[in-house]
Amino acid sequence: MDIIKFKRFFSDNIREISLILVMIVISIFVQFRSGGNFFTGGNISDLLTETAILAILAVGMMMVIITAGIDLSIGAIMALAGMIGTTVLKENKGISPIIIILIAVAIGIVCGMINGTLVSRFKILPIIATLGMMNIFRGLTYLVSKGSWVLQNDMPSSFLGIATGKVFGINNLVVMALVIYAIGYVFLNYLRTGRKIYAVGNSEESAEVSGIKTKRILWLAYTIMGAIAGFAGLLYVCKFGAAQGETAVGYEMNVIAACVLGGVSISGGTGKVQGVLLGALLLGLLNNAMPLINISAFWQEAIRGLIIVLSVMSNALIQRNVEMKALRRRNI
Amino acid sequence: MTRQVVQADGTRIIEKDRAFSWKRFMFQWEWLLLLMLVIVNIANISISPNYANTNNIMNAMRDFLDKAIVVFPMALVILLGEIDISVASTMALSSVVMGMAYQAGVPMEFAIVIALLVGAACGFVNGIILVKFKELSSMIVTLSTMIIFRGIASILLQTKSVGSFPAWFKTLGWGKVGPVPIILIFVIVEAIFFIYLVHYTKFGRRTYAMGNSVMVSKFSGIKTNRIKLIIFTTTGVLAAAAAVFLASKMGSVRPDVAKGYELDIIAMVVLGGISSAGGKGNILGCILSILVIGFLRYGLGLVNVTSQVIMIIVGALLIIAVAIPNLKSSFGQAKWIKNLSNNIKKC
């Protein structure tokens, strides 16, 4: 009985288990190659801090991908929210960081609402809609900044403290990521709206027939993504101490990669929050490990792309295998 | 005229061809594009009195024709219901390889051939992955190959650039035959070829069929894999051709060349009335939309609009072009919108 249970657990979580195994193998390899520079307290906390923003964004992207959509505009939304937030900060030095965060999230929500309206009401393919909006948001960022940068010395230390401060010895960003993952886990697994997102992703028609307001759910997914992107954009600017027109260019690819590595199917309907967390961690681990074992920066981009395509292909193979097994079981 | 139509349940009925109607004819998307083209040109002429001479227009066209080369194969890809975002990276990789081959002592003619072969290989990789893994969407595959191709280009050349090509190579991008730039001749020949291919051959009809339903096309005996592979490889080859012209125009190659071109190219195709869901649209629309976007950019450049604002305008155009046919389902109430989108859909 226990063995059957264990088998069931194993086959249900094969992706998560294999991700953890891959991560362990890579860590051990890097630990030996780098002469013990990997498993140090400093490096691990660096790794987690570097990964936190990516991981936060991956939760939102996961919801969008589960609805069988995609959002290519998040890098631009991050830049826009970060730029407007820090510009407000620059003009009014005494303003509380909380208000700046609220402004950034509000901008993100507006951007996300536009994306959501285009996709749900105007029925534009998500990739085309968000590709166009990416250009628009990026252009707006340049217009707002007028080509100039907002630099670290324009930001008061209370603001910079968001990214460098610690709670119980853990970096703020990591804490925020954990909180958002907890919320995301509960939302997607136990709340009705969260389950509806999966339903819409599996089949929009059957969701519509069973009384789900699919348009509203689609719209909601993009809006949540926008809110998260606005928030993450501010964190990004805060962490790197500079807001500029080119902030987070191409960051959406990393986020999509994290989701795909974490087992979120691009065709919609499947994906687990814990898988996405592991996917983001694996990507963060690779980013952290490649410089440690002296892989030059020029190689990193190509390797990242290769990892995405290989993981999607292995995803497909695993899926085929599962389906074959299901068929065989039915025959017996 | 009558024709036989097979219905969804397999029964055959004889259907009369729809009679020619002026209303339907006038509501075609291409007329709208033509109208936009006229408006853009009138605006350009009123901005700059020197605009309307042949020489100037030819020069203006040279600015955007390198993108136009990729628009036609991209139209085929989108007709299939797929998408290829890796074209700009293919351009970067093939021009970088061409530059390095030339630097290594290969004669320029062969270096160009090598570039085309690299483009073909890139397109083939996209195609073969999509054929072997049917469950993958072309978006995610070309998204990752986009990163890989540009990644390889930057591994090869790092932050360097290769230049000082032979003098004749420069004439490819800048030279003219009479008043007509060489690149324009190339695009015209290509456009004629694609009009023939898409609208007058079995291959073209099969592409439309696949855009409507790959499954049905497969069951009706179309070699869907082969067609998909051919189309993606063609896209790669022509992206490499565009890269050759671009390199000749710029006089050097770098790994970050042609960044963001994929958006312009997709915008041109989609504005040209090719449905992003596949199976609908024609090449004439693409030709018109190339001219509309190209001259619009040129005109905005004349009045010193910054490239950021142009970015916003192209993005907005892309979205508006896709949104208009869907207006009815979005705001079904207003009668004139209903009529407009009905008429657009019918065509």
* Whole-number Å distance between alpha carbons of A86 and A79: 11
pLDDT at B23: 65
Residue A331 identity: N
Task: Enter the ipTM.
Answer: 0.79
Mutation target vs B (from A115, A118, A122, A296; most B CBs, 10 A cutoff)? A122
First to last CA, chain A: 20
Find the radius of gyration of the CA atoms of chain A: 21
Q: Which residue has the higher pLDDT, A75 or A91?
A: A75
Nearest residue in A to B149, CA atom: A302
Q: In this complex, is the C-beta atom of A304 within 8 Å of any C-beta atom belonging to chain B?
A: yes
Max CA separation in chain B (angstroms): 67
- If pLDDT is split at 50, 70 and 90, which confidence band does B344 have? low
Count Cα atoms within 13 angstroms, Cβ side, for B180: 8
pLDDT at A241: 81
Tokens 């030709």 label which residue?
A: B287
Average pLDDT score over residue span A137-160: 81
pLDDT digits (tens, 9 = 90+) for B82-104: 889 899 999 999 999 999 999 88
pLDDT of residue B319 exceeding 60: yes
User: With contacts defined as CB-CB under 8 Å, which chain B residues touch A266?
Assistant: 136-137, 139-140
Retrieve residue A178's tokens: 């954990």
- If pLDDT is split at 50, 70 and 90, which confidence band does B225 have? very high
- Inspect the interface and report whether the beta carbons of A253 and B152 lie closer than 8 Å: no
Among B residues 1-60, those touching chain A with beta carbons less than 8 Å apart: none
Of the candidates A77, A133, A81, A130, the one whose C-alpha atom is nearest the C-alpha of residue A249 is A77
* Percent share of chain B, pLDDT over 90: 34
pLDDT of residue A163 exceeding 70: yes
pLDDT at A6: 78
Nearest residue in A to B322, CA atom: A124
Q: List all residues 6 or more positions away from B228 whose beta carbon is below 8 Å from its beta carbon.
A: B80, B82, B127, B130, B131, B210
| B177 beta partners | B180
pLDDT at A107: 94
pLDDT of residue B332 exceeding 60: no
- Kindly write down the DSSP assignment for every residue of A128-165, as one continuous string: HHHHHHHHHHHHHHHHHHTTPPEEGGGS-HHHHHHHH-
User: With contacts defined as CB-CB under 8 Å, which chain A residues touch B329?
Assistant: 123
pLDDT at B227: 93
pLDDT of residue A174 exceeding 60: yes
pLDDT digits (tens, 9 = 90+) for B118-165: 999 999 999 999 999 888 888 889 988 998 999 999 899 888 888 788
Among B residues 258-317, those touching chain A with beta carbons less than 8 Å apart: 263, 266-267, 270, 276-277, 306, 308-309, 311-312, 314-316
Mean pLDDT of chain B: 84
User: With contacts defined as CB-CB under 8 Å, which chain B residues touch A142?
Assistant: 306, 308, 311
Average pLDDT score over residue span A230-236: 92
Average pLDDT score over residue span B243-262: 87
* Percent share of chain A, pLDDT over 90: 27
- Inspect the interface and report whether the beta carbons of B152 and A302 lie closer than 8 Å: yes
pLDDT at B335: 61
- If pLDDT is split at 50, 70 and 90, which confidence band does B260 have? confident
B150 touches A253 (CB < 8 A): no
pLDDT of residue A304 exceeding 70: yes
- If pLDDT is split at 50, 70 and 90, which confidence band does A58 have? very high
Q: In this complex, is the C-beta atom of B135 within 8 Å of any C-beta atom belonging to chain A?
A: yes
Considering only the beta carbons, identify the residue of A70, A129, A312 that sits closest to B136.
A312
Considering only the beta carbons, identify the residue of A131, A140, A320 that sits closest to B263.
A131
Pure H helices in chain A: 2-12, 14-33, 41-66, 74-91, 97-120, 126-145, 157-164, 172-190, 192-202, 204-209, 214-240, 251-261, 273-292, 297-331
Q: Per mean pLDDT, which of A65-74, A133-142, B227-236, B251-260 is the most reliable?
A: B227-236
User: With contacts defined as CB-CB under 8 Å, which chain B residues touch A136?
Assistant: 311-312, 315-316
- Inspect the interface and report whether the beta carbons of B135 and A319 lie closer than 8 Å: yes
- Inspect the interface and report whether the beta carbons of B309 and A313 lie closer than 8 Å: no
Instruction: Give CB contacts under 8 A, 24+ apart, made by B178-186.
Output: B179/B54, B179/B55, B179/B58, B180/B58, B181/B58, B181/B59, B181/B61, B181/B62, B181/B65, B183/B62, B183/B65, B183/B66, B183/B69, B183/B245, B184/B58, B184/B61, B184/B62, B184/B65, B186/B65, B186/B69, B186/B241, B186/B245
Cα–chain center distance at B164: 30
pLDDT of residue B347 exceeding 60: no
Q: In this complex, is the C-beta atom of A118 within 8 Å of any C-beta atom belonging to chain B?
A: yes
Indicate yes or no: pTM above 0.90. Answer: no
Average pLDDT score over residue span B275-283: 82
* Whole-number Å distance between alpha carbons of A261 and A272: 11
* Whole-number Å distance between alpha carbons of B26 and B28: 6
pLDDT digits (tens, 9 = 90+) for B20-70: 666 666 667 788 888 888 888 888 888 877 777 788 888 888 888 888 999
Buried b (16+ CB within 10 A) or exposed e, B255-277: bebbbebbbbbbbbbbbbbbbbe
| B176 beta partners | B181
Among B residues 171-210, those touching chain A with beta carbons less than 8 Å apart: none
- Inspect the interface and report whether the beta carbons of B139 and A266 lie closer than 8 Å: yes
User: With contacts defined as CB-CB under 8 Å, which chain A residues touch B74?
Assistant: none
